[in-house]
Amino acid sequence: MSDILLTLDNIGLVRDERAILSRIQLTVARGEIVTLIGPNGSGKSSLVKIAVGLLRPNTGTRQLLPNINIGYMPQALKLDKSLPISVQHFLQLTAHRPKTPQIVTALAEVGVERLLKSSVHSLSGGEWQRVLLARALLQQPDLLVLDEPMQGVDLTGQEELYNLLADVPKRHGCGILMVSHDLHLVMAATDKVICLNGHICCEGHPEAVSTHPEYLRLFGWQGSKGLAVYSHHHDHQHDANGCVKL
């Protein structure tokens, strides 16, 4: 793909003399959904923070296509419960200072326009995640970065949100970099899966990753069944490091 939005080249991150990330190579192109998976402590959140510029790596480089907007949905964003704030007011606090019609449109896109006047403290976990996604979309992103967007969302809601996310690159002309633990639903909407455990264990189309020995070692056969919902067929080969390259 020629329109590469983000390139991470040979990224390394060390904290307290411990290697968090090592030799990470990653690109996200316009129109593409790239999903990071991996066990707890594998460096997924650190990597997305590097992607959006919140963390500086010890080694390697981060390159963005010039003049692009990034919409970022963090893993956890908690507001002081003593602060009275509506969904509308919360969404007006973004850098672009959106007007009410824009906010209504964004909330409608994620299926919660009815919450415009609601207190953010009254929302369920799934409603809050949808509001955070609307907030990221209001940045008019070229690159949408989502750190575990399904936290607190039930299985039915997860399926609905993944279906919604699958259409976002077409509607907004953006690319998506997403972190997920939800192996059973995410793969059908994903162009490329990167399995991370401090380094990239394997990468490629979901069904290819699902049969890779490193993936099976980390997640077992149950995880493989989750990945297998992606049913297309692609040829692939392994590189010198044992990673899937398609």
88 and 111 share a domain?
Answer: yes
Whether residue 58 is predicted with pLDDT greater than 60 in this model: the reply is yes
β-sheet bridge partners, residue 64? 6
Model confidence at 2: pLDDT above 70: no
Say yes or no: 118 and 198 in one domain. Answer: no
SS3 49: helix
Taking phi over 0 as left and psi of -120 to 50 as alpha, with beta for the rest, 140 belongs to: left
Please name the residues in contact with 102: beta carbons below 8 A apart, sequence gap of 6 or more: 138
What DSSP string describes 145-195?
Answer: EEESTTTT--HHHHHHHHHHHHHHHHHH--EEEEE-S-HHHHGGG-SEEEE
How far CA 193 is from CA of 37, 208, 213, 226, 243, in Å, comes to 7, 9, 15, 13, 12
Q: If pLDDT is split at 50, 70 and 90, which confidence band does 158 have?
A: confident
- pLDDT-derived band at 35 (thresholds 50, 70, 90) equals very high
> Are the beta carbons of 149 and 170 closer than 8 angstroms?
no
Residue 244 above 50 pLDDT? no
Task: Based on the fold, state whether residues 162 and 119 are members of the same structural domain.
Answer: no
The reply to whether 53 and 158 lie within a common domain is: yes
pLDDT digits (tens, 9 = 90+) for 101-138: 999 999 999 999 999 999 999 998 889 999 999 999 99
Q: For residue 157, what pLDDT is reported?
A: 80
For 13-23, how does the pLDDT look when each residue is reduced to its tens digit (9 = 90+)? 999 999 999 99
**Residue 40 and residue 84 share a domain:** no
Q: What is the pLDDT of residue 182?
A: 63
Residue 74 domain flag: no
56 and 98 assigned to the same domain = no
> In the block, which residue shows the tokens 């099976």?
216
CA distances to 115, 132, 160, 184, 185 from 155, in Å: 21, 18, 9, 10, 9
Domain with residue 166: its CATH number is: 3.40.50.300
Cβ atoms of 216 and 205 within 8 Å: the answer is no
45 & 155 share domain: yes
β-pairing verdict for 59-64 and 33-37: unpaired
| Cα–Cα distance, 88 to 120 (Å, whole number) | 9
142-155: per-residue pLDDT in tens? 999 999 888 878 87
- Residue holding tokens 């399995």? 195
Segment holding 25, helix H or strand E: strand 18-29
pLDDT at 185: 61
pLDDT at 61: 96
Q: What is the pLDDT of residue 213?
A: 83
pLDDT of 80 > 50? The answer is: yes
Q: Which of 138, 166, 134, 162 is nearest to 148 (CA)?
A: 162
Q: Give the rounded percent of residues in the chain with a pLDDT score beyond 90.
A: 56
Q: What is the pTM assigned to this prediction?
A: 0.84
Do residues 222 and 68 lie in contact, with contact meaning Cβ atoms separated by under 8 Å? no
- The residue among 51, 44, 45 whose CA lies nearest residue 28 is 51
**241-245-246 Cα angle (round to 5):** 170
Q: What is the mean pLDDT of residues 44-58?
A: 95
The predicted-structure confidence for 185-214, as pLDDT tens digits, reads as follows 666 678 899 999 999 998 988 877 877 888
pLDDT for position 49: 94
pLDDT of residue 236: 38
Residue 152 contacts by C-beta under 8 Å, 6 or more apart in sequence? Answer: 124, 125, 126, 128, 129
What percent of the chain clears pLDDT 70, i.e. is strictly above it?
85
Looking at 81-95, 123-137, 157-171, 219-233, which range is the least confident one? 219-233
Number of structural domains, the chain? 2
Residue 169 sits in which domain range?
4-69+142-245
